[in-house]
Amino acid sequence: MALDSPTSYADAVAAAVQAAAAYYTDGSTPLGDDEYDALVREIEAWEQAHPDQVLPDSPTGKVAGGAVVGDVPHSVPMLSLDNVFSAGELADWAAGLERRLGRQVDGWCVEPKLDGLAVAARYQAGQLAQLITRGDGLAGEDITHATDAVLGLPQQLAEPIDIELRGEVLLTQEQFDRANEIRLAHGAVPFAHPRSGAAGTLRAKDRPYRIELTFFAYGAVSHLTDLGHTALLERLAQLGANTAATTAAHPLRCATIDEVQQRVEEIAALRAALPFGIDGVVIKADSAADQEQAGSGSRAPRWAIARKLAAVHKVTRLLGVEWNVGRTGVIAPRAVLEPVVIDGVTVTYATLHNPADITRRGLMLNDQVFVYRAGDVIPRVEAPLVDERTGDELPIVFPEVCPRCGDAIDTSQQRWRCVRGRGCEAVASIRYAVGRDQLDIEGLGGTRAVQLVEAGLVADVADLFALTRNQLLALDRMGETSTDKLIAAIETARTQPLNRVFCALGVRGTGRTMSRRIAAHFGSMAAIRAADAEAFAEVDGIGTEKAQVIVTELAELAPVLDKLAAYGVGTEETTPARSAVADVGEQTGPLDGQAVVVTGSMTGPLADLSRNQMNELIERAGGKASSSVSKRTTLLVAGEKAGSKRTKAEELGIDILTPENFAQLIADYLPGT
């Protein structure tokens, strides 16, 4: 809402200054990025309409919103960036820059806007001498004590030159998770999110533990000023500094603004898969001559802009906690939130993982909390804003009995579970077991599963294979035709391969991919049942902890497995991968040794296959199916609208096949051949 009075304007300035101070010191801002940007735009609009009423502490036109200061002067002002928020605004800005120059811009450099803390690293004769925060742009804070924990920031450059690297220090997602493990082990409160963790870590002294961060260079102050921006980044990498060139969102030189817009979209699509947070994309005039002619204002250079992306972190209120029982009897807490829009999606619920996680984070009802969402990832509550508490917060009450059936709760593990296990949610277990990627029993939906369980005919997946025609006909709304179809579907399910039968069991810690690996590794249900934790730990992707969970689950499922064996279900035997020995040079299939990722919509002979069926096909042909592109990927099957996975595969030089070409490669393994 637009500001409508001097009082509302003054209140907005005070809120923006408070938020900026928190953001640029320890990251514990009470406003999300979107809210802060919108607030500053409202302030700017008011000031343009009322230039005689501008307050001296207004954040507009100031580096870091004027919220921070430092005592170490910068050799050259360390400016912020102006922002645009749409493709249209970006095009208008570019056109304005070209009007200022009186000619077309000689190329653009497009790179990710890293969500960390801006720093300047001073080198003398190639030796790191000092690390300074941006501060107010004119002077910053000396944080040289933290340099030994910053990866990508070399103590010694490859050449003995004097130079000042400028860049961003951040916590990657892996470093953030590890940092919170370390902090919890030392009795400290976990970081709210990666940015606050980076800010707090760089300023901390005399901690009894070490937290690693990562530096990404994006510029320099030195004799290299005649280099274009893309060439400068390449030169900094040669000196030994880490740059975004090592990532899928690497800087790219574009000739036109249309190419710039395309690259912005590509980086935005990569956002959820990046190992670190970004809050936008930076576009810079690449030519040193263009930069010099365009010059800079008091706050930002005129030759660079930040195209902001919708925030994936937001602040909202924790209204309640629901306790839901899953198909295996696990009791999972779910946060009920004051609705908040994150990346275009209204979020009202988020995961809380388990009771231990709630306790570790110190969450309370009515807390203001950080909520995170990226791409298709389920939103999660990260941390409370402890400094924003008002005294109205209440403890979260944990259940004393199972909220589904009222029986006792097993609290011996981090994930609490009803003592009845799968018996507590038999309907959910049955619905999962008969799904398309498991037993694929058509005609056995949710309503029918409820009928079977409530009639006492089915208590577990094995009971499905004991159903008779007369039993089904006795159920409401079951005629002869629907009964015969369901009986036929159950009979077909008896012959499902081992991996699908195992997947139908719903063993905790496994899913479709892991079920395929387990079936291939052991070769038979008998071998799977006989395996101990050590044997399961040999399966790719199963560690010691998960292996023990699987063994415990299989022991619990012994009566079900006995019944399945008696009904002839899951009795298929194959040569186990762990004992298969090929002659030298012999291949077990056309995809032997290949790590394959499938993306986009399949066409041709593969058009009717689900993603799970594609993965099964890959593994039958000797390959290993994966869901994400990495350096270990050797082949990408790219269908229509392949998107960011294709882009990343191209950047990594990975072989790419169309669905039709891939079908030719594995023709002998296609269904029906």
Whether 264 and 75 have beta carbons less than 8 Å apart is answered as no
Two structure tokens written together for 472: 């089904």
- How do strand 213-221 and strand 150-151 relate by DSSP bridges? parallel
Two structure tokens written together for 37: 């940007």
Classify each residue of 544-582 as buried b or exposed e, where b means 16 or more C-beta atoms within 10 Å of its C-beta: eebbbbbbebbeebeebbebbeebebbebeeeebeeeee
Whether 39 and 16 have beta carbons less than 8 Å apart is answered as yes
Unique residue bearing structure tokens 């009894």: 208
Q: Which residues pair with 320 in a beta bridge?
A: 336
Unique residue bearing structure tokens 């029906």: 672
Phi-psi group of 667: left, alpha or beta (phi > 0 → left; psi -120 to 50 → alpha; rest → beta): alpha
- 10 Å Cβ neighbour count for 317? 15
Counting runs of H as helices and runs of E as strands, what totals does the chain give?
A: 22, 23
Question: Is 485 a known active-site residue?
Answer: no
At 252, which helix (H) or strand (E)? strand 252-254
Helix (H, G, I), strand (E, B) or coil at 635: strand
Q: CA-to-CA distance for 539 and 590, rounded, in angstroms?
A: 22
Whether 314 and 340 have beta carbons less than 8 Å apart is answered as yes
Classify each residue of 516-537 as buried b or exposed e, where b means 16 or more C-beta atoms within 10 Å of its C-beta: bbbbbbbbbbebbbebebebbb
Q: CA-to-CA distance for 623 and 77, rounded, in angstroms?
A: 54
* Residues present in the chain in total: 673
Q: CA-to-CA distance for 38 and 51, rounded, in angstroms?
A: 19
Whether 346 and 340 have beta carbons less than 8 Å apart is answered as yes
- 10 Å Cβ neighbour count for 156? 12
Out of 62, 113, 631, 641, the active site residue is 113
Whether 34 and 49 have beta carbons less than 8 Å apart is answered as no
Q: CA-to-CA distance for 528 and 512, rounded, in angstroms?
A: 16
Cα angle for residues 36, 38, 44 (degrees, 5° grid): 105
Q: CA-to-CA distance for 465 and 383, rounded, in angstroms?
A: 47
- Residue 84 sits at φ, ψ, to 5 deg, of -125, 160
Alpha-helical segments (H) within 494-643:
498-504, 512-522, 525-530, 533-536, 544-556, 558-566, 611-620
Whether 253 and 108 have beta carbons less than 8 Å apart is answered as yes
Beta carbons within 8 Å of 596's beta carbon, 6+ residues apart: 618, 623, 624, 625, 626, 633, 634, 635, 636, 637
Beta carbons within 8 Å of 430's beta carbon, 6+ residues apart: 444, 449, 452, 453, 458, 460, 461, 464
At 117, which helix (H) or strand (E)? strand 117-124
Q: CA-to-CA distance for 184 and 204, rounded, in angstroms?
A: 16
> Which amino acids are annotated catalytic?
113
